[in-house]
Chain A
């Protein structure tokens, strides 16, 4: 039995969610192969070959794969599929966009966002915004699965010595063309893999006021997140959003500032190891999940906390 991982990368480095996805594959059991589909992606392929537990890297290096267009990558997965029992991708916007397209072409009912591996054909996954957990058993001969990175530890990026095999990708389908990226530039750690996350909500009040959240985050070496309310109000860009429809995070420490704790926000952070809530409304639902709650005006408490750390 062999398992193929669709790796998320930027042609030079492997994105961290790929490492958690490999752990899920190891739990299923079997040889782990990694597909690097990109353009001038040798460094990414070499990085993948060093990952602990990877037996083989398949490198599809072609100009039409420079940007991850589902129309270009799905056919590669379909062509490789017969050799595999499972194909796994991280449940990031990358994996979510590409994998279902391959699943339909293979006539497979994909299993999205798994939380655990019960056996080679049985998995748990969240439904209803994580308010219920379904245990599902697949009857498809090949399983296509996206993996929630926060519930699997990452494998080590060192220790592997896999062979790299070239795959000749076909030319561009012409259906879809990349135009541009507008990526948030930040020196801070990536939200989904940060050990500490400081998030602000509607209570922060404005884009300018978010400076106190940023300052606390920088002191802690933390990533900055936000509730949907704060994103919708335009305080921060939308890729800051933590929640059911945003990013799912599970850091060691999550500090929720001026966040009331709507169900959709809790769905994105309730697996954090320690949750701190700072809110002036003592009845805010966030306190029901917080390990440490501080009822205080955030404009006093956050600068004080930052100053005393």
Chain B
């Protein structure tokens, strides 16, 4: 079995982002960039499947700038076998390469690589759309197992336990299929130094999106990006009695 894992270069989740004062977007010059956390979980799951003997090759693919090779190398240090960068200078966080365009690009890669399974994050922590996996499944006519917290491979079908609002749901999906990862699927490993060194020698192909006839013209025009309304802190109360008094008489919520 061949597994494809699409990943994304995003602002590290620990970085406190700043909205540009002209409202045109986020200031991400000189901030730490990382693999989208949900995608790290996807890489980890693929590596575990390969370690269990059920997969032979893991390909990681990303769409982004030249520097997105760093994130491919990180995934290869975790255990992916080779990487593909679809190189573009169009912004990948907001107002540039959108989920539908990503899904179309990934479909072109899949037509060429013919993986049996695609594992990817349920959403990227920049645009927060939560669309690409479902869209890719639609374009391919494949089954989708979204928001996965457990994945069990058997012959020809995969049992996926999904995190849904009321609890958990288990579905059985036919392969080839798309799985999108939720937080509790696994805990990604830290790559060890020898693996990081080895990853530098792994194959990494850089492809221009025009090779698939892709151009990235956004459908959603970003009119502005603004700061959310700031919530001001209130007061400290001295004890439980004062808290109850405030909730009853000032806030009137109990």
Whether A211 sits at the interface, judged by CB under 8 Å, is no
Judging by beta carbons under 8 Å apart, are B100 and A274 in contact?
Answer: no
Q: Which 6 A-B pairs have the closest CB atoms?
A: A104-B135, A291-B234, A100-B134, A109-B219, A104-B138, A175-B143
Bound: A179/B173 CA distance, A:
10
Q: Is A273 touching B253 in the complex (CB atoms < 8 A)?
A: yes
CB distance from A301 to the nearest CB of B (A): 6
Give residues of chain A (58-112) contacting chain B, Cβ–Cβ below 8 Å: 67, 69-71, 74, 92-94, 96-105, 107-112
Contact A308 B137 (CB under 8 A): no
Q: By DSSP majority rule, is chain B's interface helix, strand, loop, or mixed? A: mixed
Contact A110 B131 (CB under 8 A): yes
Contact status B167-A101, CB under 8 Å? no
Q: A183 — which chain B residues lie within 8 A by C-beta?
A: 166-168
CA distance A98 to B237 in the complex (A): 46
Within 8 A of A (CB), among B220-254: 220-228, 231, 233-237, 239-241, 243-244, 246-247, 251, 253-254
By a CB distance below 8 angstroms, the chain B residues around A295 are 236
1/0 contact string of B32-58 vs chain A (CB within 8 Å) = 000000000000000000000000000
Given A103-B100, A133-B227, are A301 and B134 neighbors across the interface (CB < 8 Å)? no
How close is A98's CB to chain B, nearest CB, in angstroms? 8
Closest beta carbon of chain A to B30's beta carbon, Å? 17
For the complex, count residues of B whose C-beta is within 8 A of A.
78
Query: Is B235 a contact partner of A94 (Cβ separation < 8 A)?
Result: no
Q: Which residues of A contact B132 (CB under 8 A)?
A: 100
CA distance A99 to B100 in the complex (A): 13
State whether A305 touches B228 (Cβ < 8 A).
no
Say whether B81 faces chain A, with CB atoms less than 8 Å apart. Answer: no
Instruction: State the Cβ distance, A19 to closest chain B Cβ, in Å.
Output: 15
Q: How far is the CA of A104 from the CA of B135 in the complex (A)?
A: 5
From A103, A132, A137, A176, contact of B17 by CB (8 A): A132
Cα–Cα, bound, A110→B127 (Å): 12
Confirm or deny: B112 has a beta carbon within 8 angstroms of a beta carbon on chain A: no
- Point out the residues of chain B lying under 8 angstroms from A130, CB to CB: 228
Q: Provide the bound-state CA to CA distance between A20 and B237, in Å.
A: 35
The answer to whether A127 and B233 touch (CB under 8 A), given A174-B174, A178-B171, is no
Q: Which of A107, A137, A175, A291 contacts B174 (CB 8 A)?
A: A175
Output the nearest chain B residue to A192 by Cβ-Cβ distance.
Answer: B165
Given A289-B233, A292-B237, A295-B236; A101-B225 close (CB under 8 Å): no
A253 touching B254 by the CB < 8 A rule? yes
